């Protein structure tokens, strides 16, 4: 076995355990909080708190990855996720869930950028595979484990209840932490990580940041458009599925079937030779229609919209990542990607609360707002693509 195969194999094991854990709780996360007496508006505040926590810690965790290595950041992120899930399992008030949300946001801050960087550096050591191919293969792997978790979720809910599901999700995440801590090797990055904030720069941090923003203003607007396209409105999904006639115990099965559609979309995408730009344009134009369909109070049309979204979800994420990786300056790739994460999470933090307020009043209006924003984002991306191709 060659050296470069070992990191990816351990990484795939980590992905399997991590997404098996997440697959257990994804179908019921919002419903669990609503059943504990929270309103959809309060759930929106908690979703915003997750993103705010991630925003605040995005740069400090990047510095940790710089000072030590990406493995340290990944290990810490998985451990914080396990703790957050454990707290959620025993939460009964808004404040308990808020503590869990802070842990979760801190976890994603640690993982943001670090996982992509680890995979990118691993792929660079293997001339037989590109980063996009490696990310695509990993996506299929994590989708399979997520599907398994979702189907298991329905069974566990029926047999033992929702709290039992969260407890087991926390245990699985802790096992993932142990696997990464013990087995995942360190990889030395060949590109700078958060170079804007290194102390040995000859100019001030303020000047570095100002210069970076000025040079990359069009890219920042593109990142904002991608953030709008990326926003899924998951806060509304479970209430919508219940409103059109499904039961809580059925949600895991529904999510599992939809994730199988995601795997199919990723599988077919690997066999279609469309350019990244064309694929992103096609997907971005389709998204507004998807959310209009999903928000309708008709079971079949709503499921059709959600199925189309799941079909496009992973290919769009891969194409966005590939597009931004190629757009990024070579010596500032992780800074560029972390900036994208900062923009995306900043939008989600600002958007979750009004979406919760509107959704509590009318789920249809909430989905309509999502569709309108995605329409504007797709128009901007189209103009950006036309302008940059000249």
Handedness of CA 186, 188, 194, 198 (dihedral sign): positive
Question: Do 59 and 67 form a contact (C-beta atoms < 8 A)?
Answer: no
Question: Could you report the per-residue pLDDT of 71-119, keeping only the tens digit for each?
Answer: 888 888 999 999 999 999 999 999 999 999 999 999 988 887 777 777 7
Q: Report yes or no on whether pTM surpasses 0.85.
A: no
At residue 196 the predicted structure's pLDDT band, cuts being 50, 70 and 90, is very low
Query: What is the chain's mean pLDDT, rounded?
Result: 80
Q: Please state at what angle helix 114-124 crosses helix 94-111, rounded to 10 degrees.
A: 20
d(CA 50, CA 169): 18
**Dist CA 104 CA 26 (whole Å):** 14
Query: What is the pLDDT, as a whole number, of residue 334?
Result: 61
pLDDT in tens, 204-263: 444 554 555 566 666 677 788 888 888 888 889 999 999 999 998 889 999 889 888 888
Separation of alpha carbons 184 and 182, rounded Å? 6
**Which residues contact residue 300 at a Cβ distance below 8 angstroms, ignoring those fewer than 6 apart?**
none
Whole-angstrom Cα distance, residue 362 to residue 368? Answer: 10
Q: Evaluate if residue 160 carries a pLDDT over 80.
A: yes
pLDDT at residue 366 in the model: 92
Choose the CATH number for 5-188+203-388 among 2.130.10.30, 3.20.20.70, 3.40.50.960, 1.20.1250.20: 1.20.1250.20
Specify the DSSP element, H or E, that contains 373.
Answer: helix 363-388
pLDDT in tens, 15-65: 899 999 999 999 999 999 999 999 999 999 998 899 888 888 876 776 666
Contact call for residues 61 and 53 (beta carbons, < 8 A): no
């Amino acid at each position: 076995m060659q050296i470069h195969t070992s990191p990816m194999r351990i990484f795939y094991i980590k992905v399997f355990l991590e997404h098996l854990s997440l697959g257990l709780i994804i179908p019921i996360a919002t419903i669990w909080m609503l059943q504990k007496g929270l309103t959809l508006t309060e759930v929106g505040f908690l979703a915003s708190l997750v993103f705010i926590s991630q925003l605040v810690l995005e740069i400090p965790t990047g510095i940790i990855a710089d000072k030590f290595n990406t493995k340290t950041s990944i290990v810490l992120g998985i451990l914080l996720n396990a703790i957050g899930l454990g707290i959620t399992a025993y939460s009964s008030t808004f404040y308990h869930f808020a503590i869990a949300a802070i842990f979760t946001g801190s976890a994603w801050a640690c993982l943001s950028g670090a996982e992509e960087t680890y995979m990118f550096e691993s792929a660079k050591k293997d001339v037989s595979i590109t980063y996009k191919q490696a990310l695509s293969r990993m996506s299929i792997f994590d989708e399979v484990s997520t599907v398994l978790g979702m189907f298991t979720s329905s069974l566990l809910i029926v047999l033992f209840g929702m709290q039992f599901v969260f407890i087991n999700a926390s245990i699985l995440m802790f096992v993932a932490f142990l696997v990464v801590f013990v087995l995942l090797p360190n990889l030395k990055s060949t590109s700078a990580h958060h170079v804007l904030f290194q102390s040995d720069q000859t100019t001030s941090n303020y000047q570095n940041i100002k210069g970076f923003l000025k040079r990359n203003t069009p890219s920042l607007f593109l990142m904002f458009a991608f953030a709008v396209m990326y926003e899924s409105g998951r806060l509304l999904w479970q209430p919508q599925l219940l409103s059109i006639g499904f039961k809580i115990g059925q949600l895991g099965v529904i999510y599992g079937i939809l994730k199988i559609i995601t795997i199919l979309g990723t599988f077919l995408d690997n066999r279609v030779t469309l350019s990244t730009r064309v694929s992103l344009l096609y997907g971005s134009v389709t998204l507004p229609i998807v959310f209009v369909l999903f928000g309708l109070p008709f079971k079949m049309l709503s499921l059709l919209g959600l199925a189309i979204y799941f079909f496009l979800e992973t290919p769009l994420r891969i194409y966005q990542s590939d597009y931004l990786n190629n757009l990024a300056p070579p010596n500032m790739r992780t800074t560029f990607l972390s900036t994208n994460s900062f923009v995306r999470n900043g939008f989600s933090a600002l958007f979750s609360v009004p979406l919760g307020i509107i959704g509590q009043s009318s789920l249809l209006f909430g989905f309509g707002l999502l569709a309108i924003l995605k329409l504007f984002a797709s128009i901007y991306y189209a103009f950006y693509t036309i302008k940059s191709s000249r």
